[in-house]
Structure 1
Amino acid sequence: MTEYRPVKQPTRNPPRGAARTSAARAPAADARAQRAAGAVTARTRVSDRWHSWLGHHREMAAEALRRFFATPMASAMTALVIAIALALPASLQLGMGNFQRAVAGWDGQPQLSVFLRREARATAVERFTESLRGNAAVAEVTYISPEEALAEFQQTSGLGDAIVDLGANPLPGVLLVRPANVAETELEQLAAQLRESALTDSVVLDMAWVQRLARLTELGQRLSLGFGLLLALGVILVVVNTIRLHIENRRDEILVVKLVGGTDAFVRRPFLYSGLWYGLFGGLLAWLLVAVGVGLLAGPVAGLAASYGSGYALQGPGPAYLLGLGGGAALLGLCGAWVAVARHLRAIEPR
């Protein structure tokens, strides 16, 4: 009986190149599988960082505003202190502006009053007047006759009857000379030329009151500037002290944020917005205080001006004043918060 045995097929070894290719593909496949199953590193675009930065600023501004209204009494007291400190120099500056506006209608240009001799003839006075009008150093010449001077004096002094009893007009003719150049040396030279004339009795340079007014205005401006700088420093110190208390109250929160990798800018941001809100609301209250003060004084000032025959009225703080005062106060609050954070935030570091 014939016995059948299975024929053993010869084994074929794969080519060496194929073995190497399969060996090279296996790690690549494993790497792809690992990348699909594990963490993926991606680059953050600049626009994403910008939107994240803006979003955090909006969030911190809203949180600082919420914290401001969360303690209304303490926040209102701090804002009121800032408002009083700002209202004082603001009122002085507004008062100087109203004062300058009140005297703007006055004759602020120096002029020379040339008193003529009583025996001077009208034709000689007319020739002298025309010669002065042709002088390059003279801008304008106005002649006031003795009769006009007497009528004006009777009207303004209330002594008309006494002067009539004198029988003769004691007042001379006057030339009001307005110089073209207001420099002091030029005015003195022109006054000396006028005194040399045979028709001139005396020359009075009406410049002293103009100089006094200019000095008073300059003094008021410097006082308002000095008070403003001192009280601005006071506002910064108030905000520094307030933000320091906020930092101490949130010390544990700051430590946790720094432990998880929060940067100083991240920690600093809410306190800066707190200082900005304190300054802004203080500036708005300061504007309100100034406006109320102007409203209380407007009636008496108008009555005083009416007694002098003037329609002058006080000018209150307008919208531009509101923007300037609010923006300046917000900037002062921001500076005070920055000083407080830079001073006290360094002492809070995780160990």
Structure 2
Amino acid sequence: MTDTRAVNQRTKPSANPPERSRSAGAVTARTGVGDRFSSWTNHHREMWRESWARFFASPMSSGMTALVIAIALALPAALQLGLTNFQKAVAGWDGQPQISVFLHKRARENAVQSFADDLRGDPLVAGVTYISPEQALAEFQQSSGLGDALLGMDSNPLPAVLLVRPRGSDTTSLEALATRLRDSAMTDSVVLDMAWVQRLAQLTELGQRMSMGLALLLALGVLLVVVNSIRLHIENRRDEILVVKLVGATDAFVRRPFLYTGLVYGLVGGLIAWLLVSGGVWLLAGPISGLANLYGSGFRLDGPGFTYLVGLAGGAALLGLTGAWLAVARHISAIQPR
């Protein structure tokens, strides 16, 4: 009995058991900033790869969407490239206004040369070309076809001419320079030839504005295409979104794959647009070069280089990302588990 009591005494739980250092069960772990950043970057990397995988998983529908984006972007890009080549083509002509100074017939050669040297030193003048009466007569005979008739004249009726190229194209400065030349005792007449330059500048500005307006309209079209495509993606994955939200996923976590999908659509569309513009330039380069050779010009059509590639791909990717954001901002928040 004594032994039994002793055993019971030893096995009987104490009223005040000793306190354990840590209780058994679930333990809440805290994640550091580095772990959160690593998880965030890993998820972005995973969504980037998954977006490409989903793009190539349905090549027909994805390719059609990217092609629509490419055509919408290729049109304003081709127009802008055409304007750039047009400006390059007319750069061979003197793009600056020109002032033709007709000198008096009685002006002496040394006085004309001194007057031309003074004009070359003027800060408003970029250059001066002297055309003697003999040179003017020879050019007129060649261009007019009246060489035989002019040979019978007793004297040369054409005066010496100074072709003055202004340094700037400001209308006020040009008018002031022309007025100062008219007041000179050496000049008989002064003609400011800038009408065609103004017409060319107006046409170029009109083309640029048309290109900008077309680009804005087609960019809006790209946004609508991406919004509609991402909306269909969201509806197809509605059940998956509900399950992920049930386990505690945030809206930012849910929208991330769709944002990358829109980015991929835009990026591929921009690359295809660059290829379309490059193909168009390749088709037109030969005929345009042949036409330029007929006019004695060395003009060559410039294609879309690396700058166009970066601009089209980056701009299209930004449009795709923006369209995807607009789509998910409206539809993701409406999908809530009940």
Q: TM-score, normalised by structure 1?
A: 0.85
- Three-state SS of the structure 2 residue aligned to 1:285 is helix
- Asked whether the 8 Å contact 2:227–2:327 carries over to 1, the reply is yes
Instruction: Give the one of 253, 258, 269 matched to 1:266.
Output: 253
Going from structure 1 to structure 2, the CA distance change for 1:189 and 1:58 (only over 3 Å counts) comes to closer
Which blocks of at least 5 consecutive residues in structure 2 are unaligned?
Answer: 1-13
Instruction: Give the one of 305, 318, 322 matched to 2:292.
Output: 305
For the pair shown, the structure with the greater C-alpha radius of gyration is 1
- Three-state SS of the structure 1 residue aligned to 2:105 is coil
**Percentage identity across aligned positions?**
72
- Three-state SS of the structure 1 residue aligned to 2:163 is strand
Instruction: Give the one of 162, 167, 171 matched to 2:158.
Output: 171
Structure-2 separation of matches of 1:147 and 1:281 = 64
How far is 1:349 from its partner?
A: 1.1
Q: Deviations over 1:194-234 (max 9, x none)?
A: 22344433210012222222222222222222211211111
How far is 1:280 from its partner?
A: 0.6
Structure-2 separation of matches of 1:314 and 1:207 = 27
- Three-state SS of the structure 1 residue aligned to 2:37 is helix
Structure-2 separation of matches of 1:140 and 1:62 = 61
The equivalent residue for 1:67 is 54
Going from structure 1 to structure 2, the CA distance change for 1:253 and 1:94 (only over 3 Å counts) comes to same
How far is 1:317 from its partner?
A: 0.9
How far is 1:133 from its partner?
A: 4.6
Structure-2 separation of matches of 1:125 and 1:46 = 82
The equivalent residue for 1:6 is none
Q: Does 1:187 align with 2:187?
A: no
- Three-state SS of the structure 2 residue aligned to 1:28 is coil
Q: Does 1:333 align with 2:320?
A: yes
Going from structure 1 to structure 2, the CA distance change for 1:128 and 1:318 (only over 3 Å counts) comes to closer
How far is 1:275 from its partner?
A: 0.5
The equivalent residue for 1:102 is 89
Structure-2 separation of matches of 1:66 and 1:194 = 72
Instruction: Give the one of 248, 271, 277 matched to 1:284.
Output: 271
The equivalent residue for 2:141 is 154
Stretch of structure 1 that moved more, 303-312 or 117-126: 117-126
Q: Residues 173-252 of structure 1 correspond to what in structure 2 (within 5 A)?
A: 173-180=160-167, 182-252=169-239
Q: Does 1:28 align with 2:15?
A: no
Instruction: Give the one of 63, 68, 74 matched to 1:81.
Output: 68
Structure-1 separation of matches of 2:325 and 2:275 = 27
Give the length in aligned residue pairs. Answer: 326
Going from structure 1 to structure 2, the CA distance change for 1:321 and 1:152 (only over 3 Å counts) comes to same
How far is 1:272 from its partner?
A: 0.6
Q: Deviations over 1:223-281 (max 9, x none)?
A: 22221121111111100000011111111111111112111111101111110111011
- Asked whether the 8 Å contact 2:99–2:178 carries over to 1, the reply is yes
How far is 1:179 from its partner?
A: 3.5
How far is 1:149 from its partner?
A: 1.1
The amino acid of 2:77's aligned partner reads A
Q: TM-score, normalised by structure 2?
A: 0.88
Going from structure 1 to structure 2, the CA distance change for 1:233 and 1:137 (only over 3 Å counts) comes to closer
Going from structure 1 to structure 2, the CA distance change for 1:333 and 1:311 (only over 3 Å counts) comes to same
- Asked whether the 8 Å contact 2:56–2:62 carries over to 1, the reply is yes
Structure-2 separation of matches of 1:205 and 1:125 = 20
Q: Residues 138-149 of structure 1 correspond to what in structure 2 (within 5 A)?
A: 138-149=125-136
Stretch of structure 1 that moved more, 39-48 or 279-288: 39-48
- Three-state SS of the structure 2 residue aligned to 1:324 is helix
Which blocks of at least 5 consecutive residues in structure 1 are unaligned?
Answer: 1-21
The amino acid of 2:289's aligned partner reads A
The amino acid of 2:19's aligned partner reads A
- Asked whether the 8 Å contact 2:96–2:168 carries over to 1, the reply is no
Going from structure 1 to structure 2, the CA distance change for 1:167 and 1:69 (only over 3 Å counts) comes to farther
Structure-1 separation of matches of 2:220 and 2:154 = 69
The amino acid of 2:208's aligned partner reads Q
How far is 1:49 from its partner?
A: 1.5
Going from structure 1 to structure 2, the CA distance change for 1:43 and 1:221 (only over 3 Å counts) comes to same
